[in-house]
Structures are given as C-alpha cells and as structure tokens.
Amino acid sequence: MPTEKSPLVSRKCSSSFRKRKREPALPGISPLLKSLWGSYKEPINIYGAEFLFTDHVTVSFARSGGPGGQNVNKVNTKVDMRFNVKQAYWLSDRIRARIMQMEKNRINKDGEVVISSTKTRTQKGNIDDALAKLQAIIDAAAYVPPPPSEEQKKKIAKMAAIGEQKRLKSKKVLSDKKAFRRSRDSWD
C-alpha cells in the first residue's frame, strides 16, 4: 500500500455552479472578448511595418450563418473586425496608400478596412483568423521587392534587346509593304 496520497484523492472538489464575481463590463466589449485580449498583448510582427496591436482594431460579433443546427441561432461567433487605415499614423504613408489602393473594395467611407470571419465555430478562432487576414493585408502593402541581381539585369537587358529587334523588323516589313504599294501607281 502506497504511503503517499494520490493526487486525485487530495485534490479538493469544487462546484462549477459556484457564483463568480463579475468584473464591471467595459462599454462595447463583451466579457469573452475582454478575456481573449490577454492572449493578444504581444505585438503581431509585420515585415517592413510597425507592430500591430489589438488596440488598433475594433471588433464586433454577430450570429454566424450556415449549417450548424440550433447552436448557430444562439451564439455570436461571426467576427467583424474594423481597422481604420486613415488614422493608422504608426504606419508609413506609403503603406497606408497601398492599403487604400489594394483594398478599395473593402474600405468603407470612414476609411476602415472591414474584415469578416466565420471560419471557425468559436469567437477566439474567428478573431485569430481576422487578425491573420489583416496581417496579410498589411504584409502585402509593406512588401518591397528586392532589387534584381546582376544575372536578372542581364536577362532583362537581353529580352529588351530582342524586343527592340522584333519591333524594328516588323516596322521594316510594314515600310516595305507600303513602298511596294506606292510603286504600283504607275500601272495606270
């Protein structure tokens, strides 16, 4: 017989129905969202841009559509995330202009990029998905292609020379055709 107490025996049992103290609700933020913000305190790394914090976005929830039975009608899992591009002064002007150009169909009249996510059945999963979509948008706007290598420069110059030769050849053919037509006028 073991002398140590089993961890299962020594563990206290607590009721899951115990009343919990509620923290005062912040206006406009659901308690679940407030609890989720803790996992997003770390900045999201963006190549070539500043850091994106959850303070830069506003999140709202709605009932998600699609199959799912009764649960779909009861829980607000759809995430609508709004990111105000015009007020994102922590991004450079070039990146903000690129976002405005690339995402012009997603931007409303207030200058907010509206991102929706219904990918998962949980709010946290949809917040993750919406933040990933927003990060991809900012990454794409911040991307600067690297300068071409010497080999690529030579290839570009060679292709340009071939294109110029083709252009001159077609121009010469057209010129000869017109010259041939002009010389026929004396047939009458």
pLDDT grade for 155, boundaries at 50, 70 and 90: very high
**Percentage of the chain modeled with pLDDT above 70:** 65
Name 41's Cβ contacts closer than 8 Å, sequence gap at least 6.
54
To the question of domain 24-142 being in CATH 3.10.180.10, the answer is no
32, two tokens: 């679940």
Range with top average pLDDT, 11-15, 43-47, 138-142, 161-165: 161-165
Taking only the tens place, the pLDDT of each residue in 100-130 is 999 889 899 888 999 999 888 888 889 889 9
Model pLDDT, residue 92: 87
Rounded to the nearest angstrom, the gap between the alpha carbon of residue 184 and the centroid of all alpha carbons in its chain is 65
Model pLDDT, residue 102: 92
Contact 117, 64 (CB under 8 A): no
Cα–Cα distance for residue pair 9/122, rounded to 1 Å: 34
More confident residue, 184 or 166: 166
More confident residue, 121 or 19: 121
Cα–Cα distance for residue pair 62/48, rounded to 1 Å: 34
- Three-state SS string over the chain comes to CCCCCCHHHHCCCCCCCCCCCCCCCCCCCCHHHHHHHHHHCCCECCCCCCCECHHHEEEEEECCCCCCCHHHHHCCCEEEEEEECCCCCCCCHHHHHHHHHHCCCCECCCCEEEEEECCCCCHHHHHHHHHHHHHHHHHHHHCCCCCCCHHHHHHHHHHHHHHHHHHHHHHHHHHHHHHHHHHHHHHC
- Global pTM reads 0.56
